[in-house]
Each structure stands twice: as C-alpha cells, then as structure tokens.
Amino acid sequence: MAIQLRKNTVLSDDNKKTFKAIIVLNEMINGNHQFSSSAYGDDAVLQPLFHELVANGYIISSGSVYKVSSKGRGVFDTFMKRYTEYLKVYDVFSFVDLEKGEFAFSSYFDFDNDDDWFNFTDNERFDDLRIAVAMFKKADPAEIVFMSFINENRFDTSVSGWQNDLMADTAWGEIEEICNTAIKPEDVGEDAMVDMINQGSELMIKLMEEEQKQNSNNNNYGGGTTTTTIVEEETIEYYEPYYDPYYISPIWLVPLFIW
C-alpha cells in the first residue's frame, strides 16, 4: 500500500460542531449541569448548537431543560468506544525514539509515580507518532488530537466561562496546527511505519497483560473476586486484530453525527 501525501488539515464547520457536541453531551450525561431551553447566562452562547442537536434528534426539550435522546446517547457511546481504543491503541505511540526504534512505554511500569514518568518522557529524543499512525490507518487525525485534548482536560467544564471557550476558534485552530505540523507517514516511510506499528501493537498487548497481572495480584491480595481479570482478558482478545498494522476497527468508519 503506497503512502499518499496528505493535504493540510482544515476542520470543517461540521467537524467543529461534532467536537463541540461531544463535550456538551458529556456534560449532560456525566456532569451535573442542566441546560435550560430558555438559554441564559454563559449557556446562551451554546443555543445555536442546541438548536441543531434538537433538529437532528440528538437531544430533546423536556419541560424547561434539554435532555439527551436515545439517539444522542448512542452517538456518545460510539465516541466513548473510540476514545477507549484511542487510549489503548494510539497512546503507546506518543513517545517513540525513531533513531533507536524504542518506545518510552516499554518502560512504563518501571516508574512508581507520574512525576518520574513525565520526567522520563520529557526528552527531545522522543517523537509523537500518533498522527502518523492515525493517517496510516485512514483515521481522522483531527479526532485523535481532539481525544488527546480531552485526555488532558483541555475542555474543563468546571471552569467559569467554558462555554465561550468551546464556541471560540482557539482550540480548533490549535488542532489544525498540530495535525499540520506533526510527523506524517511519508516522513517515516511505509516500511518503517509498518515496523513501528507492529512494535507498538505488540507492546500494547504486553502492557495490557502486565496491567491484568497487576490487577489480578491486587485482587488476590485483597481477597476480591476475579471479575476484573476476566474483563481484562476479554479486552486483550478484542485488541489482538491490531497486530495487523493496516487494521482499523469498524467503529472508526461510521460518522458520529449527521448534520
């Protein structure tokens, strides 16, 4: 499969609406904030988005507040499945020493605390290959960056005025910039990309197995059940198709929202 050169990433209005809607749906489903259909205060800026979500059946008006519809929950569940895969599949490519072919995550369990891990990975020898891997697998690189922003709590809905930040262009311009300046598959070469993805996939499974082992030891020590171990075993089996460097899960191939 020949690597095709990619044009610069430019987020469409629909891309931006999708990302904004995910943040709002998450706040509606997992947060404590109730959004009034009369739209006042900081929530007023979200009203155009709410109108489109209502028009497309993703939320409904219930009395004086908005509620997530079953259709909206289905979309959010699909996104969360993708997000779970992002954390498992793509994060391992965050810190790669291309010269030595080494992954920082191969040493992940050598560190006792986050500070030591962050100090280790804060080294210019490591490159971020997540965008390159996403492009190689025909996934949307902008969605990968958006997920990394979520993981870093860049859309903190506990901060006053978060609604204005969400509707502004700052975050979306930054996502475009990251996509356009990141290492691309053509910068690495197809053979090297295949090799890196193979190594990363093998490492991902090893990390999951080590996590399973540690969870099992903790459960046994605490006298708990083996439920967690069973879940982890099923999870490992689920990710085994990623041994194929060209594999992409079908859940990434469907659009989240139809606007």
CA 74 from centroid of its chain's CA atoms = 17
Could you tell me which residues are beta bridge partners of residue 102? 97
Residue with tokens 């997000």: 83
| Coil, helix or strand at residue 82 | helix
Predicted pLDDT at 215: 78
* Cβ–Cβ under 8 Å, residues 134 and 144: yes
* Cβ–Cβ under 8 Å, residues 217 and 47: no
* Cβ–Cβ under 8 Å, residues 35 and 65: yes
List, for residues 88-143, the tens digit of each pLDDT value: 999 999 999 999 999 999 999 999 999 999 999 999 999 999 999 999 999 999 99
Could you tell me which residues are beta bridge partners of residue 62? 65
> Would the pLDDT of 243 be above 80?
yes
Predicted pLDDT at 228: 35
List, for residues 164-211, the tens digit of each pLDDT value: 999 999 999 999 999 999 999 999 999 999 999 999 999 999 999 998
Q: How far apart are CA 23 and CA 46, in angstroms?
A: 11
List, for residues 12-46, the tens digit of each pLDDT value: 999 999 999 999 999 999 998 899 988 778 999 99
Could you tell me which residues are beta bridge partners of residue 97? 102
| Coil, helix or strand at residue 67 | strand
The candidate with the shortest Cα–Cα distance to 84, out of 22, 24, 15, 147, is 147
Predicted pLDDT at 230: 39
> Would the pLDDT of 222 be above 70?
no
